[in-house]
Amino acid sequence: VSREGIFVNRSLALEKIKCFGFDMDYTLAMYKSPDYEELAFALLLEHLVAIGYPPEILYDPTFPTRGLVFDALYGNLLKVDSHGNLLVCAHGFRFLKGAEILHYYPNKFIQRDDMKRFHILNTLFNLTEAHLYACLVDFFTNCSRYVNCDTGYKHGNLFMSFRSMFQDVREAMDHVHLSGCLKEKTLENLEKYVVKDPRVPLLLSRMKEVGKVFLATNSDYTYTDAIMSYLFDFSNEDKADVPRRPWRSYFDLIVVDTRKPLFFAEGTVLRQVDTDTGKLRIGTYTGPLQHCAVYSGGSSDVVCDLLGVKGKDILYMGDHIFGDILKSKKRQGWRTFLVVPELARELQVWTEKSGEQCWAGDADFTMHLDSGSSERPDISSIKRRIQKVTHEMDMCYGKMGSLFRCGSRQTLFANQLMRYADLYAASFINFLYYPFSYLFRAPPVLMAHESTVEHSHRDSGDAGTALPPWLAQHGDPHQQVGGRSAGAEGHGHPAMLTPLGSCAH
Amino acid sequence: VSREGIFVNRSLALEKIKCFGFDMDYTLAMYKSPDYEELAFALLLEHLVAIGYPPEILYDPTFPTRGLVFDALYGNLLKVDSHGNLLVCAHGFRFLKGAEILHYYPNKFIQRDDMKRFHILNTLFNLTEAHLYACLVDFFTNCSRYVNCDTGYKHGNLFMSFRSMFQDVREAMDHVHLSGCLKEKTLENLEKYVVKDPRVPLLLSRMKEVGKVFLATNSDYTYTDAIMSYLFDFSNEDKADVPRRPWRSYFDLIVVDTRKPLFFAEGTVLRQVDTDTGKLRIGTYTGPLQHCAVYSGGSSDVVCDLLGVKGKDILYMGDHIFGDILKSKKRQGWRTFLVVPELARELQVWTEKSGEQCWAGDADFTMHLDSGSSERPDISSIKRRIQKVTHEMDMCYGKMGSLFRCGSRQTLFANQLMRYADLYAASFINFLYYPFSYLFRAPPVLMAHESTVEHSHRDSGDAGTALPPWLAQHGDPHQQVGGRSAGAEGHGHPAMLTPLGSCAH
Amino acid sequence: VSREGIFVNRSLALEKIKCFGFDMDYTLAMYKSPDYEELAFALLLEHLVAIGYPPEILYDPTFPTRGLVFDALYGNLLKVDSHGNLLVCAHGFRFLKGAEILHYYPNKFIQRDDMKRFHILNTLFNLTEAHLYACLVDFFTNCSRYVNCDTGYKHGNLFMSFRSMFQDVREAMDHVHLSGCLKEKTLENLEKYVVKDPRVPLLLSRMKEVGKVFLATNSDYTYTDAIMSYLFDFSNEDKADVPRRPWRSYFDLIVVDTRKPLFFAEGTVLRQVDTDTGKLRIGTYTGPLQHCAVYSGGSSDVVCDLLGVKGKDILYMGDHIFGDILKSKKRQGWRTFLVVPELARELQVWTEKSGEQCWAGDADFTMHLDSGSSERPDISSIKRRIQKVTHEMDMCYGKMGSLFRCGSRQTLFANQLMRYADLYAASFINFLYYPFSYLFRAPPVLMAHESTVEHSHRDSGDAGTALPPWLAQHGDPHQQVGGRSAGAEGHGHPAMLTPLGSCAH
Amino acid sequence: VSREGIFVNRSLALEKIKCFGFDMDYTLAMYKSPDYEELAFALLLEHLVAIGYPPEILYDPTFPTRGLVFDALYGNLLKVDSHGNLLVCAHGFRFLKGAEILHYYPNKFIQRDDMKRFHILNTLFNLTEAHLYACLVDFFTNCSRYVNCDTGYKHGNLFMSFRSMFQDVREAMDHVHLSGCLKEKTLENLEKYVVKDPRVPLLLSRMKEVGKVFLATNSDYTYTDAIMSYLFDFSNEDKADVPRRPWRSYFDLIVVDTRKPLFFAEGTVLRQVDTDTGKLRIGTYTGPLQHCAVYSGGSSDVVCDLLGVKGKDILYMGDHIFGDILKSKKRQGWRTFLVVPELARELQVWTEKSGEQCWAGDADFTMHLDSGSSERPDISSIKRRIQKVTHEMDMCYGKMGSLFRCGSRQTLFANQLMRYADLYAASFINFLYYPFSYLFRAPPVLMAHESTVEHSHRDSGDAGTALPPWLAQHGDPHQQVGGRSAGAEGHGHPAMLTPLGSCAH
């Protein structure tokens, strides 16, 4: 069930949405994992080998997780929370332990705004990149020809810094995307690389009945046309007599070459695409919206103008937390839907492993102490147990753990998802299971002080129970319903001791 | 009880804190409201009248709320959520309604990064400023000599733009703070303006026993010395025979003129203050920490060096969400405690009015629909009811509603508090009621998809089992004990309709 | 004669100027040197002593030159050319020699865009500041209590960096200007500090007859009114029966509080000043220009609008190369006139010492060589002689040499003056000696390749022909009439050797 | 003679230069004009036609001049002086006249720092681009299908803004350079496109005898190797028995992929190039300088380190005023030599047309007037004559006039050349005619006030002549020798009238 669910960070009444916007790559067009990643990895490696890297590196699909940070100074892959506190730290495929981590990061903290050093790998395209860093670091670290240094490797007169390795990989990435070789290979074998799902045209035709639908992709028209034709081509298979409906007819507006995130700021010139030749027409289109016309460039403002809608009327669906979601929300006030393919697997693990229970801590015990007390209960054994359970849980998700958390602590990715995506799901196709009158309702987020209040009208109810008040609070089934209650045990009765758990250090 | 509570956004083990840092104004030294605000208001007005403003304006303590945004283009005071969506909009003391709001803000949204237009009034010192904007706009709007325009007022050949009014008030603010007139008046009548509490020296002496204690204030030494002497002077009152303990002896390090937030970045030169004369010594102090010495300037790095601690060892307590809390957290990884004096009143209203229940919505009713359905249940009457209840609740907090929320939606201030303050309370003095071995424990924040999972092993039924208490807590399938559960009803069974509530539009 | 001259960098037809603009301080109001500088120095020192500096420092008026650069890292005062090459380097009152200079500046070059380290002291107000740096460095360097280090002084546990000394002086400067103490003292003894010249009202009344005249000063109205009243008050002295003409009647527009250079960019709100009370009227003035009205704030655009002129119609006279001249020229295309009081003295030395001849080098001797030659003539003795002459010439201007040059090399100040000031003179009063139909004509600047061409038609010999005078001027093959001829000997015949002179290293 | 001359802006003693640096394109490798420009034009046009531009456009080699500014708002090509004052303004191939110019540029002035609107076309590669703008604007303006608007053209529903045209051309430029198609075509016919000159290896071998020689080019190794092999391959032609000397042996250091101007700032990682395969070796080279080794990337600091020289020891020769010359001078203090191929033609015109005389103005006539006079001599007829002569002179250089000036006023390009290039010439090969002991000597630049002083020792000499003082000044053959004398007539005797000439408006 959950796999078909859509999850809510901020309430959204679907009937108020006048316009559905889509990114293409990894949103409408879901690439098949790990085939597509393997293809990208192979092309990247080919380019790197061409500039002198060792060809021995192999693709191992189990390692990477999205949302990691690459430290170009020390070559580590870091999992961090939204404040820059380190959660996990890996050097190649080896995980660093406490003392090692303190050697590189004395405060277990990174200043994320040092953009020349720390690089966030948030997109699905970054997955392969993250993996490559791990593979390269692993290879050189274990290769006897190279001497390991803090900031790179030495080999005779050569010094290969992690920074130069980073630059090489980034340039290889650019090459693979700009040269078109990845797109070419993908188009050569669409069945292998792209998921085809008859529900896509079904859902889009329903959406077009209740509102406007647009596509805004950074890809060029030729690639877009090939991918979309493949995705929407079902007529021949099922009913030979039904005329094939062209993919462009599912959209009110199609914009390619959007150059998001620039698209959400000043944008570029809007051109019309000649759909016969795939070439751009010179000049900016200024007329009214034309049926089935395709445009290149433009900006989010232009989209609103052409479609006659305001930012809040639009629900935009994309997979890129920064380029699609954060920017459309922050700059334009659009409603946002983040596609997170990993959710399917994450939900499975969470459900099987009983999620929260694995790290939710242990029994609290109460002592009547205040700041004048000197007793210090020993909690080390409990702590060790929690750490063990947390680690076991993490390993179920993969070597780097969950995309969203490390034990009880959330990742930067999870934090950004919660801040900027109004809705999220493993796929946009899940909308198929909701009526267009649906109200996606986020339970009110309770602040710590709000969730711990004893409401006067309940006081009488609890009286007489043998429970201490802080337990009684939780006994009330009305209390926490739908509320994110922070700090329930966080303070409770102020003179209550909860000496353990998943402390933030 | 709650008034003495400390609330937790991120878990913190007090026994790991090696160092307690304090801001002075509004943290150690709590100013008495509304006397102090009235004094500031009077001084501001005096300055404005001197440059030609009408003297008729009167102070009305009921209006202002912290955390509002002043729109210097249209002269409105805005209450916004963290994304820039408008929650409340006031022009002077008049609240704008739907159509009016759309006239000025077509998307009901502001681009907060337009720093020349939108000014966030987050500090307690800003309270008076916010009030002044409201008073001025109210006066000119209702004064028959002035013609109302969209961006200001016309009077003969004069045009008074809201922008110029903003500039005048800002300059008056600078004058009142830089000229020292506010400080002077405060010192003339300390009893009237500053809260004196014997628990302050008690708590600080306890803190100094278990760790290091420092003061880092933007005020100068003369003012700091006067205020702190007053705050810590209790010896004579109680026991005439006990020698008076000087306030400086409560601290390991005292730094004045800190120029936060610059202090948390590159900082300034560290000087020693001659405590006999109050004057600075030239040159930078480079020696070891001296007992009871007072310094001027410096930076957070210098503090760590002098005290021999790392960022995570420090718990810093302040009232300024940006200058004290956000910056110390973001740049230095310090642990943070935000003083929010309004909490006392907010908690009272919340408790009396049963908080969440007032706006938490109503019963959900389920219909089996999907995206192919065309039924649209009528929910308008329920919506109206919710709006009414929300407004009534808001009015209990004051004209602009709560500092933290508007109905079910949180303010920008609440959002920043939750992101950057590890702990918060109405006063730092609440630490008195917690032992130094206390673990402030934030319940894990559940993401929307996590809180809706039905864990397989519990399906059979927990009832009656001898589960340990922490599992038992979860025994109630309706509740999210200790977890901030987003989206409980957010999707539930995907084909379930929850057609009402506090939708984000 | 030259003292009354106006010098031309770019041709300007005075009859095309529709509008004369003036700065006040150091332009209309010339402060008496060294009395005014001594006053400023005394006030600065008073403030510094108050924060712990030694009171022994004395004012020595012979040292400072404008346009120096203070290196806040090493405490040196540098004289540099427009590219950042060092010309002179002083530590306190001591001049560094070759090897010492190379120790601090290995390439004898500074990267001027390092604004945190290098501070240009270009204004007349900076003169006192430059002097103070020299005095302080001199004092501490020679004071036995302090140990000299590369970046400051050590004294017990204190380290006084040059950077902190710089900060202290800057803050003292701000204090002296913002607190109003300098203005107060000046007004107490106007006769001592401000030059009074009957030609000022005479010239301004003539200017107002042929065009518009405005004042744009950063000073406030009260100070402006006092200074200007003094400057224009001549009626009583000469003819008791002539009614006194108020100073404001000499101007079409008076703007105070201009906040240049901001004034030349977005500016601030334009207010009207109540000339009876000296206070600002609230609101922005939007009506037509009122006779004798005084305004506060605004911007250069507002000035153009109110006076109905375009940038090129305005000749603006000021003393601040950056705030007045560079910005008005660069942002607004105004015509510019720089007041350089030092010119009087510079011209005197230049004339007496025969200027150019002192360092222009010696006879060239020709040898027929090319890149294949290996002969190297010995020119060291000639070089030494040139250095000696250059130094002697420099010393005539003062310890740091001329404001404009060091030997044959021009200073950054001279370069900026030539780039941004269309005209310049020791005083704006020199306009009195030019008719308003005057054409200030800059000779065309010849580029190096242009000045060395032998024009074919002149080869035959111009002597004795009936050429018009402007051609006749060029009849003399040795001279470059009216042309800045670069490179005359620079290459000459390419195979000609000019092995000596003022080489740029 | 002049064609072989090297011109001097700042004195430079060649014997002090320890290191000669070279750019490759347009410096060592001179491309043949107009063949190479025609090739680039054809490739650009091919790309533009592919995106919908009309193919009718033809290349006309007479039009373009370097150093123009393209106004992307109005589509004009502007010739401006260093302050942004307009000198010439063309729309397509049509020149705008006074009233038209004022319509678009009311103050005849542009704010050059508006980088989104004004684009400087300073490089030789930009020549083709400038031409293309003119051709496109000319075509669309005269094409009856398009309606002319202020900011572009309308055609049915399409609006083609000049800004979009600019973007298209820029992208076509990028394509032509990044795709390698221009390089490919060039290598296919080296004889046609690249000048081969036996003096190149001769000069470089001489330079290598007296100092170090390095190459720093933005081109990649493959292209560099092909071009350089061609340039240095003379052995077979002359003497079949002499072993061919490889081009790399002429250099101490070869750096490709330099990414200037980044190279002069932080630069990139230094790699070694495998000269057998042309591929990069991974890692950064850290060993000592290897003979004949080739590197990729790096920075100017790395070059200094590897060669063991300081900035002032290096003379760097390039053709790019910004990337090669300004940056190496400003950031690193290098000595600079600018290659300006146009100099050959410019010198020819200048010499034939008697240069300066054409626009140097007319006879001055003296009147004894001051600011009190009201006479205004009529100078309009003289002005018209000057304008006519100036225009005729300009036309000799080409439609847009000289690269360096418009009448007596210098272009932005000339100004930057004078500021940043120590030396300049039509080709670096001119060094062949100078011995390595040569002193390139710039005559001291006299400031306006310096060139007009009557030196005391000459006073007696002039007395009693019948000449007016301003002519007597010029009569002295010593006075202007080698000095750029600004303002000779600029003021002369202040009461002298020079009512006409090349005034800056």
3-state secondary structure B344-380: HHHHHHHHHCCCHHHHCCCCCCCCCCCCCCCCCCCCH
- What pLDDT does B137 receive? 94
Report the distance separating Cα C193 and Cα C36, nearest Å.
5
Residues with Cβ within 8 Å of residue A44, at least 6 apart in sequence: A128, A129, A132, A169, A172, A173, A176
Identify the burial level of C426 via C-beta atoms within 10 angstroms of its C-beta, where 0-12 means exposed, 13-18 middle and 19 or more buried. Answer: buried
Q: Is A168 annotated as a binding residue?
A: no
What residue in C sits closest to D344 (Cα-Cα)? C449
Higher pLDDT, A237 or A283: A283
- What pLDDT does B278 receive? 82
Tens digit of pLDDT for each residue in A347-388? 988 888 765 555 544 434 444 567 777 766 666 777 777 778
| Whole-complex ipTM | 0.81
Q: Write down the mean pLDDT value for chain A.
A: 82
Query: At residue A257, does pLDDT exceed 90?
Result: yes
Distances (CA, A) of B71 to B96, B104, B136, C414: 14, 11, 14, 46
Please identify among residues 39-68 of chain A the ones whose CB lies closer than 8 Å to any CB of chain D: 50-53
How many helices (DSSP H) and strands (DSSP E) are in chain D?
17, 24
The model's confidence at residue C393, banded by pLDDT at 50, 70 and 90, is confident
User: Which of D157, D177, D266 should one mutate to test binding to chain A, selecting the residue with the greatest count of A CBs within 10 A?
Assistant: D157
Lowest mean pLDDT, pick from A419-428, D161-170, D384-393, D450-459: D450-459
- What pLDDT does A340 receive? 95
Helix boundaries (H) for D341-466: 343-352, 356-359, 380-397, 412-420, 456-462
Following CA atoms A21, A25, A30, A35 in sequence, which dihedral angle do they give, to the nearest 10 degrees? -170
B31–chain A nearest CA distance, Å? 23
Interface touch C432/D370, C-beta < 8 Å: yes
Nearest one of B502, C249, B414, B315 to A504, comparing CA atoms: B315
D35 flagged as catalytic: no
What residue in D sits closest to A268 (Cα-Cα)? D164
Q: What is the DSSP secondary-structure string of A324-392?
A: IIIHHHHHH--EEEEE-TTHHHHHHHHHHTTTHHHHS----------TT-------HHHHHHHHHHHHH
Residues of chain C positioned with their CB less than 8 A from the CB of D365: none
Interface touch C486/D437, C-beta < 8 Å: no
- What pLDDT does D409 receive? 86
Q: Tell me the HSE value of C95 on the side-chain side, using a 13 A CA sphere.
A: 12
The model's confidence at residue D496, banded by pLDDT at 50, 70 and 90, is very low
Tens digit of pLDDT for each residue in B452-465? 654 444 333 333 33
B479 vs A108, A109, A481: nearest CB: A481
| β-bridge pairing B314-318 and A279-280 | unpaired
Q: In the 8-state DSSP scheme, what is residue A119?
A: E
Cβ(A73)–Cβ(A104) below 8 Å: no
Tell me the β-bridge partners of D20. D213, D315
What residue in B sits closest to C152 (Cα-Cα)? B283
Helix (H, G, I), strand (E, B) or coil at A182: helix
Interface touch B282/C51, C-beta < 8 Å: yes
What residue in D sits closest to A267 (Cα-Cα)? D164
Interface touch A312/B108, C-beta < 8 Å: yes
Tens digit of pLDDT for each residue in D333-350? 999 999 999 998 899 888
Tens digit of pLDDT for each residue in A86-128? 999 999 999 998 899 999 998 899 988 898 999 999 998 899 9
Phi, psi values for residue A309, rounded to 5°:
-125, 165
Tell me: cis bond preceding D34? Omega within 30 of 0 counts: yes
B350–chain A nearest CA distance, Å? 7
- Touching partners of B (3+ C-beta pairs < 8 Å): A, C
Report the distance separating Cα C119 and Cα C109, nearest Å.
15
The model's confidence at residue B501, banded by pLDDT at 50, 70 and 90, is very low
C474 vs D346, D357, D454: nearest CB: D357
- What pLDDT does A354 receive? 67
Q: Write down the mean pLDDT value for chain C.
A: 82
The model's confidence at residue D379, banded by pLDDT at 50, 70 and 90, is low
Place of tokens 């892959």: A77
Interface touch A158/D285, C-beta < 8 Å: yes
Q: Does B362 touch chain A (CB under 8 A)?
A: no
What residue in B sits closest to C266 (Cα-Cα)? B116
C21–chain D nearest CA distance, Å? 17
Tens digit of pLDDT for each residue in B190-236? 999 999 999 999 999 999 999 999 999 999 999 999 999 999 998 65
Query: At residue A12, does pLDDT exceed 80?
Result: yes
User: Which of C432, C441, C500 should one mutate to test binding to chain D, selecting the residue with the greatest count of D CBs within 10 A?
Assistant: C441
- What pLDDT does D63 receive? 65
Residues C380-400 have a mean pLDDT of 77
Lowest mean pLDDT, pick from A386-400, A484-498, B432-446: A484-498
Q: Is D168 annotated as a binding residue?
A: no
Residues C389-398 have a mean pLDDT of 78
- What pLDDT does D358 receive? 53
Buried b (16+ CB within 10 A) or exposed e, D129-161: bbbbbbbbbbbbeeeeebeeeeebbbbeebbbb
Query: At residue D137, does pLDDT exceed 60?
Result: yes
Region of residue D350 (left: phi > 0; alpha: psi -120 to 50; beta: else): alpha
- What pLDDT does B363 receive? 38
- Our answer on whether B and D touch (3+ beta-carbon pairs < 8 Å) is no
Residues of chain A positioned with their CB less than 8 A from the CB of D53: 282
Q: Is D319 annotated as a binding residue?
A: yes
Cβ(B325)–Cβ(B122) below 8 Å: no
Q: Tell me the HSE value of A424 on the side-chain side, using a 13 A CA sphere.
A: 30
Query: At residue D432, does pLDDT exceed 50?
Result: yes
Query: At residue B490, does pLDDT exceed 50?
Result: no
Interface touch D481/C479, C-beta < 8 Å: yes
Distances (CA, A) of B333 to B21, B313, B328, D220: 14, 9, 6, 44
Higher pLDDT, B30 or D239: B30
Query: At residue C501, does pLDDT exceed 60?
Result: no
Report the distance separating Cα B97 and Cα B103, nearest Å.
10
> How many other CB atoms are there within 10 angstroms of residue A456's CB atom?
11
Query: At residue C337, does pLDDT exceed 90?
Result: yes
- Touching partners of C (3+ C-beta pairs < 8 Å): B, D
The answer to whether the Cα torsion of B470, B473, B474, B480 is positive or negative is negative
- What pLDDT does C368 receive? 57
Interface touch B448/A8, C-beta < 8 Å: yes
Q: Does D424 touch chain C (CB under 8 A)?
A: yes
- What pLDDT does A316 receive? 97
B481 vs A362, A430, A474: nearest CB: A474
The model's confidence at residue A4, banded by pLDDT at 50, 70 and 90, is confident
- What pLDDT does D242 receive? 58
Nearest one of C208, C294, C248, C232 to C29, comparing CA atoms: C232
Residues of chain C positioned with their CB less than 8 A from the CB of B168: 282
Residues with Cβ within 8 Å of residue C403, at least 6 apart in sequence: C65, C66, C67, C340, C342, C346, C397, C411, C413, C414
B233 flagged as catalytic: no
Interface touch B479/A480, C-beta < 8 Å: yes
Residues of chain C positioned with their CB less than 8 A from the CB of D450: 350, 355-356, 404
Please identify among residues 278-307 of chain A the ones whose CB lies closer than 8 Å to any CB of chain D: 279-288
Q: Does A333 touch chain B (CB under 8 A)?
A: yes
- What pLDDT does A481 receive? 31
Tens digit of pLDDT for each residue in D258-306? 999 999 988 988 888 988 888 888 777 777 777 778 999 999 999 999 9
User: Which of C139, C158, C168 should one mutate to test binding to chain B, selecting the residue with the greatest count of B CBs within 10 A?
Assistant: C158
- What pLDDT does A287 receive? 75
Helix (H, G, I), strand (E, B) or coil at D425: strand
Residues of chain A positioned with their CB less than 8 A from the CB of D283: 152-153, 155, 158-161, 164
Nearest one of A184, C136, A474 to B478, comparing CA atoms: A474
Report the distance separating Cα D87 and Cα D402, nearest Å.
11
The model's confidence at residue B286, banded by pLDDT at 50, 70 and 90, is confident
What residue in B sits closest to C290 (Cα-Cα)? B157
- Our answer on whether B and A touch (3+ beta-carbon pairs < 8 Å) is yes
Report the distance separating Cα C158 and Cα C201, nearest Å.
55
Report the distance separating Cα C325 and Cα C337, nearest Å.
7
Q: How far is CA D455 from the centre of its chain?
A: 38
> How many other CB atoms are there within 10 angstroms of residue B103's CB atom?
11
Cβ(D370)–Cβ(C433) below 8 Å: yes
- Touching partners of D (3+ C-beta pairs < 8 Å): A, C
> What end-to-end distance do the CA atoms of chain D give, in Å?
36
Tens digit of pLDDT for each residue in C164-191? 899 899 989 999 998 899 999 999 999 9
Q: Does D106 touch chain A (CB under 8 A)?
A: no
Tens digit of pLDDT for each residue in B331-348? 889 999 999 999 988 998
What residue in D sits closest to C413 (Cα-Cα)? D447
Tens digit of pLDDT for each residue in C92-145? 999 998 899 999 998 899 988 898 999 999 998 898 999 999 999 999 999 998
